[in-house]
Amino acid sequence: MPKGPTKRRPQTTARLLEAAQETFAERGFHGSSIEVICERAGLTRGAFYSNFRAKEDLFFALFDLHAQRVVDRLAEAVDELDAADDPVRTVLARMGAVDETERRWYLLSTEFTLHAIRHPETARALADHDRRLREEITGLLARLFDRLGRRPTVDLDLLARLTGAVHEGSLAQSLVEPDQLAPEQLAVTFLPALLDTISEPATTTGS
């Protein structure tokens, strides 16, 4: 069991997470052992088990870090809507932006999702992390509609699921055929029309 907090724990955790991210990217989740991760971090197995219970916990810690980056990026895009010529496409393009870190995360998260599907307890944990991220995305969607002066006519949680599915499916196709499809192309092409279809002009209070 992980022990209580110490002054050195944040630094130890950061080193383990950095080493895990690099090792997972090189070897995949199943090909990465705790021993190799600890060796890369310059730490002992004891240091690992004082911070994490299992290798899966490393993935979920990385998941939360990635989720925060996604939320921060989208929140910044929503905040900049007033200065954008095409607000919806600006947000969708920001959502579809892919760099090497995003590419590596997609490979790792896809592999881990398959692992979770085969292990119900892990699937429940993954679903819980997904739910927390979706709650943040749902809040951003509500802000987006509000800034656009529109009111959604569908459940925002389902819309968050749909936009996530479009993003992940488009990214998979783009990574396979990078010269044929840009990561954000499907979302930017089709989702603006969908958002108009599933929303209506917001009425002004008192009108």
Q: Judge whether residue 164 has pLDDT over 70.
A: yes
Residues 129 and 185 in one domain: yes
Would residue 30 count as lying in a domain?
yes
CATH number at 131 reads 1.10.357
For residues 23 and 91, the model is more confident at 23
For residues 116 and 77, the model is more confident at 116
Structural domain span for residue 41: 1-53
Banded pLDDT at 77 (limits 50, 70, 90): confident
Residues 45 and 131 in one domain: no
What is the mean pLDDT of the segment spanning 161-184?
92
CA atoms of 123 and 69, how far apart (whole Å): 23
pLDDT for the residue numbered 207:
43
pLDDT for the residue numbered 115:
94
pTM (2 d.p.) = 0.86
pLDDT for the residue numbered 2:
52
Q: Judge whether residue 17 has pLDDT over 90.
A: yes
